[in-house]
Amino acid sequence: MHQKILRLSPPLTLLIALISGASITLSFAPFNIWPVAIVGLVALALLLKEQSIKTILLRSFVFGVGFYSAGIHWIYVSIHNFGGASPLFAGFLVLIFACFMALVFSIPFYVFGRWFSHSRFSLIIALPALWLLGEWMRTWLLTGFPWLYLGYAHLDSFLAGWAPLAGVMGISFITMLTAGLIAEWIWHYKNESANKTLLVIATGCGVLLWGCGAIFKTITWAVPDATPIKIGIVQPNVDQSTKLSFDENSTITALNQLRDLSSDLWNNDWVVWPEAAIPTTLTYQEALPFLEEMNSKAAEHDAALFTGVIFADHKERKYYNSIAGLGQGYGFYHKRRLVPFGEYVPLENQLRGLIEFFNLPTSFIHLGPQDQHGLIAKGVRITPAICYEIVYPDLIAHAAKETQVLLNVNNLGWFLDSIQSKQFMQMAQMRALETGRYLVYSTNNGPSAIIDNHGKIISQSKSFTAQTFTGEIHAVKDWTPFMIYGSGPLVIFAALLLLGISIPRLLQQESKQEHKQENI
Region label for 427, one of left (φ > 0), alpha (ψ between -120 and 50) or beta (otherwise): alpha
Q: Could you give the maximum distance between any two Cα atoms of the chain, in Å?
A: 92
Q: State the burial class of residue 15 (Cβ atoms within 10 Å of its Cβ: 0-12, 13-18, 19+).
A: middle
Known catalytic residue at 335: yes
- What phi and psi, each to the nearest 5 degrees, are found at residue 302? 55, 40
3-class DSSP assignment, residue 283: coil
Choosing from 135, 184, 275, 434, which is the catalytic residue? 275
Q: Is 307 exposed, middle or buried (0-12, 13-18, 19+ CB in 10 A)?
A: buried
H-run or E-run covering 225 = strand 224-235
Residue of 49, 387, 389, 422 with catalytic role: 387
Q: What angle do CA 441, 34, 13 make, to 5 degrees?
A: 125
Q: Are 105 and 112 in contact (CB under 8 A)?
A: no
Distances (CA, A) of 146 to 191, 192, 215, 394: 40, 42, 28, 11
Is-catalytic flag, 378? no
Q: Which of 49, 217, 335, 422 is catalytic?
A: 335
243 is known as an active-site residue: no
**b/e sequence 18-48, b meaning 16+ C-beta within 10 Å:** bebbbbbbbbbbeebebebbbbbbbbbbbbb
Cβ–Cβ under 8 Å, residues 85 and 131: no
Q: Which residues are known catalytic residues?
A: 275, 335, 387
